[in-house]
Amino acid sequence: MAERLLGKRIFLTGAAQGIGLAIAEACLAEGAKLFLVDRDGALLRQAVAGLGAPNGDVGYAAADISDGAVIAAAVSQAAAEIGPINALINNAGVNVFSTPLDTTEDEWNRNFDVNVKGAWNCSKAVLPGMIASGDGAILNIASTHSFTIIPHTFPYPVAKHALLGLTKSLALEYAGKGVRVNALAPGYVETQKAIDYWNSFPDPDAARAATLALHPGGRIASAREIALAAVFMISDECRFMNAACLVADGGLSMLQHAV
């Protein structure tokens, strides 16, 4: 077993599927202990069983990250099961796509409750322990929506821009306490969400091909590729990276016009 994350005790949200599950698999393979959180308890239990981890290496709780008290309790449970948390990966998120004047108050609130408030609730819960120990890493899974705008995806990019603000603010606030806070911004990733999106078109294959054609390399990321980037950012290999955002989009956000 590789040991790039040996000694890391990671609290990971949105862990039951997609990028979150891929991150769990990659971190476990690198020697980390994990505490996994997801709103979908049944799917989370299935994911944990599929990991086949040794006893004591993985704990989990079904929890809503928008509820600060619930998350504080989950972090306490995590400390009891795998030890004090010294790494947090805020992966849980929700797509809320509309146009500005069509966005309802419920959509606005849901967008910020999960994509920003949820990340803050988790950060707030783990930061005291990290500060006390003088060591900690927080990684926020952002998006290329954090610095680009696709029309008709409002208010999702507003929240993702805010998530980068949270990342930088916490990073500079606690750098002197031994805590580093960074973000990872994937572009298109071949997850079930992407597949469901393509399947919403009359010709799913054509929709998928159109997405791939947007990219300089003619393909999109696998969830594992994003997970391996997350492993690096949580590991001690990048201890001097702080208040940064690593972009993993195959060059898409640098392309001014599709060819």
156 as an active site residue: the answer is: yes
Q: What φ, ψ does residue 28 adopt, rounded to 5°? A: -60, -40
**Gap between the Cα atoms of 237 and 30, Å rounded:** 13
**Gap between the Cα atoms of 61 and 10, Å rounded:** 13
**Which of the residues 156, 174, 188, 197 is marked catalytic?**
156
**Gap between the Cα atoms of 24 and 160, Å rounded:** 22
For residue 20, give every residue at least 6 positions away whose Cβ sits within 8 Å of its Cβ, in sequence order, or none.
12, 13, 14, 36, 38, 91, 92
Neighbours of 51 (CB within 10 A): 18
* Enzyme catalytic residues: 156
